[in-house]
Structure 1
Amino acid sequence: MKTKIKQMHEELNTFPTSKAVHTMASKLYKDLPKSDDEFIELCDELIQSHDWTLYEMMTIWIKKRKTAYLTKYFKTYEKWLYEYTNNFGACDQLCYRVLNPIIERYPTLFEEVRKWSKSDNPYVKRASAICLMKSTKSFVVNFPFSYVKEISDELLEDNHIYVQKGVGWLLKYSYLSYPEEVVNYIKSNINRMSRITFMYALEKMPRQLKEEIIKNK
């Protein structure tokens, strides 16, 4: 199977489009191990190549296999976050396709998310915010606002641009689920927010409300 994956991977361009990667992932998926344990083991081997295309295909495969969202695999996914996720694109794909679904299914895993927010790795920190958003045609925050607040409080003054963007992104979509809470949170923390976080957080608000809050920045 690994030989076939390598051969088909070589057929892709050096910088394949997302559509091409999805097509290749679908072609290969039917031949992947039926056993979930063997499937995760294969993914774990592939990710060690540090190849972005294989990383992306792996997250697509996991999203297709709902039985891969079991707590016994969580530590493997967490290892991928810590050891192989080194850019914001990889972070977000792992969050949307792998981490968010399993954390939503098992909310007690939020205990681990708390630890991510205190990491020295900016992409692990970013994941603590991004994993709270469910990716659909847009994004939805299904977790209690207390989770959003806790992670935001921890990351709000971080100076890494992708952490700042991650917090802003989380607050932006949390507004759709918790409008009053998010507005109050922004007003209470307006002087702690970077300009990037602040402007991202306002994006889903009505124009008049947005302008009112901006006046106080």
Structure 2
Amino acid sequence: MISFLSILRRKKTNKLHVVVDEIKSALQDLALPEKAAFFPRFFKAGKGGYAEGDRFIGVTVPDQRKIVKEYWQRISLPEIAELLSSKIHEHRHCALLMLVNKFEKARSEKDKNDIVSFYLNYKKFVNNWDLVDNSAYKILGRHSFETENEDLLRTLAAEENMWSKRMAIVATMFYVKKGKFELLKELALYNLHHPHDLMHKANGWLLREMGNKNEAELFSFLKTNYHTMPRTTLRYAIEKMDEDLRQDFLKGRI
């Protein structure tokens, strides 16, 4: 015989699924077959790719943001957890965008801390570059900056998992936007020679952002390190520089 407690638990579970199922259904309605065919190639989800096995239904980011706008206030953290645990890429991306909204609108430090803890507990599902780039600096970077807890990002940078390392360097974007560059330089050097191209690009991108804020800082960093940094990192870092200066770096004349 099914107990009354079991019935209550089942009702609670079913209620948890309602909003998540609505979101999944809404995303499916916006799915485009041509995008579903293209995204696995773009995000390297094929055999041997960095996102091998990731699945896509073909929803564009602007359309995902429409769903996020509709549901982020209604969805709870347990429901976000269910969505974030999905094998479907767009489900996970929407879950993270909703989490960002919740963090940015959180009124108490407890709520912010809960969201950061949630993010770290579920970070194994933040496993592609767009998922990292659209969430890490807005949650982890801001939290680290505002609480002066830079060791949070140092810990991530030291993990073996590449996505954790990318979270760390991308999170320094919040520091860069505030004109603070030391943590970025430290973490870029820490993983400067990581074997994966995605880390080379991330390091170069953040260095370029530093240059957009203060080109003298970028010049000084590159002058010391450019001879030994991966070519991709250098090219990303100098992308916005004057063409003559770019060529000087590329040809080793600095």
Aligned position for 2:121? 79
Q: Report the alpha carbon displacement of residue 143 of structure 1 after superposing the two structures with TM.
A: 5.6
After TM superposition, the score normalised by the length of structure 2 is 0.73
Aligned position for 2:155? 115
**Quick check: 2:84–2:125 contact (8 Å CA) kept in 1?**
yes
Aligned position for 1:50? 87
Q: Which has the larger radius of gyration?
A: 2
SS of the aligned residue for 2:65 comes to: helix
Q: CA RMSD in A?
A: 2.2
Alignment length, in residue pairs?
Answer: 205
Q: Report the alpha carbon displacement of residue 210 of structure 1 after superposing the two structures with TM.
A: 1.9
SS of the aligned residue for 2:106 comes to: helix
Distance 1:129 1:22 in 2: 25
Corresponding letter in the other structure for 1:117: A
Distance 1:2 1:193 in 2: 44
Aligned position for 2:69? 26
Aligned position for 1:36? none
Unaligned runs of at least 5 residues, structure 2: 1-18, 32-56
10-19 vs 155-164, which moves further? 10-19
Higher relative contact order (CA 8 A, sep 6+): 1
**Quick check: 1:173–1:204 contact (8 Å CA) kept in 2?**
no
Query: Does residue 149 of structure 1 match 2:174?
Result: no
Equivalent position to 1:16, from 45, 49, 59: 59
| CA displacement 1:41-99 (0-9 Å, x = unmatched) | 22122211232112221222233332086123312111232x11222121212224433
Aligned position for 2:223? 187
Aligned position for 2:44? none
Corresponding letter in the other structure for 1:169: W
| CA displacement 1:157-212 (0-9 Å, x = unmatched) | 11111011110011000112232222111111122201100110101222232222
**Quick check: 1:87–1:123 contact (8 Å CA) kept in 2?**
yes
Q: What percentage of residue pairs aligned between the two structures are identical?
A: 21
Corresponding letter in the other structure for 2:155: K
SS of the aligned residue for 1:117 comes to: helix
